[in-house]
């Protein structure tokens, strides 16, 4: 079980995470706790001082030990990232069933979601709110590679995390949808 | 005589490559969809792409995207020209591997090159892939994995193994998400590349990150190997979307 919280206040972006796991048989083997935090102090719109530290657990399947870390660095960005409401995607983006294809994104806090992409002529197409914080769009796409961006709450175009991205030729990135 | 002329005309139309017919739409579409000054700059690029059997739709989409982003004619022209350059490089690289690429393969190759895949990797995949197997999804998967920092050599090996093992495109398309899970669990890109290359074809990566053979784990063994819970996101990697520059 783990959780992560991100807060943005003034020039500071703070992210904290913590987790706990218990061995499957109730033994101590595999039972661990971990936590960490990262603080970014934006000195200008493009430059931030970042400090992070914490502890990560071992990886039993890979035989990797647990450990701690402490880092101090300078972050340089084209612009300060807005703490977005887009969550990672825990399931395939594009699902094909008997009735055709469905694009699905998990965006529980969004008010409006639209998609722009190769198959929409890069014109916004609204997604429909679905139970559980999902947003969906029924669309039949043939096998291939499609570029797209999400427009969440009318904000600038976003590539959801967990989606491969590619340089869009205009100084930003587009997400890639691989349809087998 | 008229009948003969009609037959010749019918034969000529039949012999026009379907790709050429399919590519007529982008020009008409762009003419109506783009501002006149942008269309005047982009359509010659599109025609050049078509003349070299490159996918015009990929160029058209870059132009449509630029206009939707509010970019001017000069910037759209540069982006479209850059796409043609990448498409040509991908087409040549796949051809050097002994394949005559389809438009979809050329586009997937160009995108992969933008994601950091070099020409030699495209050529190597083209020469090693089973004959008749589409390279579109394999190229897209290689690009997606390399863009996450995995070493190109091991990514190529992993995909080649699966192609030789007759993995489906669906199975290949699951690799980037599986790699993403391993990365979020703290593995380094090189370790993920080694893990993927080391797994036999047909193995998949479950939510917990370990390898599971086709058909699932042995009876009585949970898919995550019995480990409860999962590791947090790698320090410094948030679970949020990232801006697309729009």
In eight-state DSSP terms, residue A144 is E
Name residues 217-236 of chain B within 8 A of A (Cβ). 222, 225-233, 235-236
Closest CA to B95 of B57, B52, B60: B52
Contact A113, A150 (CB under 8 A): yes
pLDDT tens digits for range B117-168? 999 999 999 999 999 999 999 999 999 999 999 999 999 999 999 999 999 9
The burial of A6, by beta-carbon neighbours within 10 Å (0-12 exposed, 13-18 middle, 19 or more buried), is given as: middle
| Inter-chain CB pairs, A–B, below 8 Å | 216
Q: What is the CA radius of gyration of chain A?
A: 20
- Mutation for testing the A interface, residue in B76, B77, B208, B246 having most A CBs under 10 Å: B246
Residue A91: per-residue pLDDT: 52
Pairing relation of β-strands A94-97 and A67-76? unpaired
* Candidate CATH numbers 2.120.10.30, 1.10.3720.10, 2.60.40.10, 2.70.98.30; the one for domain A94-179: 2.60.40.10
pLDDT tens digits for range A9-64? 778 888 888 888 876 666 666 688 889 999 998 888 788 999 999 998 887 666 77
The ranges assigned to domains in chain B are 16-96, 108-213
**pLDDT, tens digit only, all 246 positions of chain B:** 455 455 444 444 444 444 344 445 678 888 888 999 999 999 999 999 999 999 999 999 999 999 999 999 999 999 999 999 999 999 999 999 999 999 999 999 999 999 999 999 999 999 999 999 999 999 999 999 999 999 999 999 999 999 999 999 999 998 998 898 898 888 999 999 999 988 755 555 554 444 444 444 333 333 333 333 333 333 333 334 566 655
In eight-state DSSP terms, residue A34 is E
- Distance between CA atoms of B104 and B209, rounded to whole angstroms? 31
Q: Does A146 touch chain B (CB under 8 A)?
A: no
Q: Does A138 touch chain B (CB under 8 A)?
A: no
- Mutation for testing the A interface, residue in B226, B231, B241, B243 having most A CBs under 10 Å: B241
Query: Is there a contact between B208 and A123 if contact means CB atoms under 8 Å apart?
Result: no
DSSP string, B129-159: SPTT---HHHHHHHHHHHHTT--HHHHHHHH
Whether complex ipTM tops 0.85: no
Question: In 3-state terms, what secondary structure has residue A167?
Answer: strand
pLDDT tens digits for range B175-185? 998 898 898 88
Q: What are phi and psi of B133, to 5 degrees?
A: -85, 125
Query: Is there a contact between B69 and A69 if contact means CB atoms under 8 Å apart?
Result: no
Q: Who among B71, B172, B177 is closest to A162 (CB)?
A: B177
Pairing relation of β-strands A94-97 and A134-138? unpaired
Query: pTM for the full model?
Result: 0.67
Q: What are phi and psi of A59, to 5 degrees?
A: -115, 100
């Amino acid at each position: 079980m783990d959780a992560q919280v991100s807060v943005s206040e003034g020039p500071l972006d703070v992210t904290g995470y913590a987790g706990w796991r218990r061995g499957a048989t109730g033994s101590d083997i595999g039972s661990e706790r971990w936590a960490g935090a990262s603080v970014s102090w934006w000195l200008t719109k493009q430059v931030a001082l970042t400090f992070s530290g914490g502890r990560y657990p071992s990886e039993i399947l890979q035989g990797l030990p647990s450990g701690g870390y402490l880092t101090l660095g300078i972050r340089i960005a084209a612009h300060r990232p807005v703490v977005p409401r887009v969550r990672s995607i825990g399931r395939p983006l594009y699902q094909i069933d008997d009735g055709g294809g469905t694009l699905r994104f998990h965006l529980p806090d969004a008010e409006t979601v639209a998609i722009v992409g190769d198959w929409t002529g890069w014109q916004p197409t609204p997604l429909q709110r679905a139970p559980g914080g999902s947003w969906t769009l029924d669309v039949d796409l043939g096998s291939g590679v499609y570029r797209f961006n999400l427009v969440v709450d009318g904000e600038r175009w976003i590539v959801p995390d967990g989606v491969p991205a590619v340089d869009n030729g205009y100084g930003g990135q587009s997400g890639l949808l691989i349809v087998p | 005589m008229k009948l003969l002329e009609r037959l010749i005309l019918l034969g000529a139309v039949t012999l026009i490559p379907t790709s050429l017919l399919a590519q007529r739409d982008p020009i008409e579409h762009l003419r109506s969809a783009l501002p006149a000054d942008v269309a005047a700059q982009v359509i010659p690029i599109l025609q050049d792409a078509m003349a070299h059997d490159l996918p015009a739709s990929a160029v058209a989409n870059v132009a449509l995207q630029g206009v939707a982003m509010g970019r001017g004619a000069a910037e759209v022209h540069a982006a479209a020209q850059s796409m043609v350059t990448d498409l040509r490089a991908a087409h040549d690289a796949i051809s050097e591997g002994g394949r005559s690429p389809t438009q979809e393969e050329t586009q997937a190759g160009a995108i992969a090159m933008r994601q950091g895949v070099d020409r030699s990797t495209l050529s190597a995949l083209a020469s090693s892939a089973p004959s008749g197997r589409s390279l579109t999804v394999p190229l897209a998967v290689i690009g997606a994995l390399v863009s996450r920092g995995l070493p190109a050599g091991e990514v190529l090996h992993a995909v080649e193994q699966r192609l030789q093992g007759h993995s489906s495109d669906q199975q290949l398309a699951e690799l980037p998400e599986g790699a993403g899970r391993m990365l979020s669990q703290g593995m380094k890109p090189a370790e993920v590349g080694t893990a993927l290359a080391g797994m036999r074809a047909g193995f998949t990566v479950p939510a917990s990150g370990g390898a599971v053979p086709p058909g699932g784990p042995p009876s009585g063994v949970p898919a995550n190997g019995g480990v409860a819970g999962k590791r947090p996101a790698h320090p410094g990697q948030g679970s949020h979307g990232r801006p697309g520059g729009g």
